């Protein structure tokens, strides 16, 4: 009985990862380096690895700019990681990053405002950054979904995503990866996907360390993955 059950679980794991190729998954990965102790040498190494892996983008702290990321998009964070910055400060940080070569900006909302149900403040926060960076920049809005689910529940996640999308978000993103409540979850991704129109992407990030979990998140609706251990995750997918 136990042997058959184990075999069934193995089959399920193989089935979900076999739905995607390594190249397909790499094409939606933001290869990420956001550790406070990261050096410019670390950033250069991350860029080199990103090129080798063939990922979509390299996500770095804005202090690493300017940097040549080659064929990969340059992504930076704003208001990171707490989100407790004035909207004009986030906007200025994002605009400076774009002027220094960033193609994508991942901004953090004021999680406290969301927990308190002040959703219009979320709208204004995102809109301020969108207006600062212009319409062509990919703007991803980090909502800290694990914290919202724990502190306020599913409707809070939905309402925040609705407001972010209305304010011009290109994507809504689960997590910074730094919040003690946790990172990405299948539940959060499903809620986020249901809350926003198809033109708005879903970025899952935080705690994604296996191919199996990455595949589950993609199946739930994630269109981008934020990974610091990209190679280990991609190695779990077949080349063809």
Given the residues 90, 140, 163, 173, select the one marked as catalytic.
Answer: 173
Q: How far, in Å, CA of 28 to CA of 173, rounded?
A: 13
- CB 188, CB 145: distance < 8 Å: yes
Task: Considering only CA atoms, give the Rg of the chain.
Answer: 18
Helix (H) or strand (E) holding 219: helix 211-220
| Active-site residue flag, 203 | yes
Q: How far, in Å, CA of 120 to CA of 104, rounded?
A: 24
Given the residues 90, 140, 163, 203, select the one marked as catalytic.
Answer: 203
Q: Which two tokens stand for residue 228?
A: 């610091």
Closest CA to 131 of 83, 77, 95: 95
Given the residues 106, 125, 140, 163, select the one marked as catalytic.
Answer: 106
Catalytic residues: 106, 173, 203
């Amino acid at each position: 009985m136990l042997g058959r059950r184990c075999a069934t679980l193995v089959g399920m794991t193989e089935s979900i990862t076999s739905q995607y190729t390594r190249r397909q998954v790499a094409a939606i990965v933001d290869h990420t380096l956001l550790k406070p102790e990261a050096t410019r040498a670390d950033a250069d190494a991350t860029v080199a690895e990103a090129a080798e892996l063939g990922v979509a983008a390299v996500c770095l702290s804005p202090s690493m700019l300017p940097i040549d990321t080659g064929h990969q998009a340059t992504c930076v964070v704003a208001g990171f990681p707490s989100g407790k910055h004035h909207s004009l400060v986030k906007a200025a940080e994002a605009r400076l990053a774009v002027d220094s070569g960033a193609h994508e900006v991942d901004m953090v909302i004021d999680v406290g405002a969301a927990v308190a149900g002040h959703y219009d403040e979320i709208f204004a926060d995102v809109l301020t950054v969108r207006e600062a960076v212009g319409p062509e920049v990919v703007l991803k809005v980090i909502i800290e979904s694990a914290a919202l689910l724990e502190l306020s529940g599913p409707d809070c996640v939905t309402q925040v995503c609705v407001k972010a999308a209305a304010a011009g978000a290109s994507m809504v993103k689960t997590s910074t990866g730094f919040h003690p409540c946790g990172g990405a979850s299948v539940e959060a991704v499903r809620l986020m996907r249901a809350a926003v129109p198809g033109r708005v992407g879903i970025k899952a990030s935080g705690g994604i360390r296996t191919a199996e979990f990455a595949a589950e998140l993609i199946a739930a609706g994630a269109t981008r993955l934020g990974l610091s251990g990209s190679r280990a995750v991609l190695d779990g997918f077949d080349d063809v």
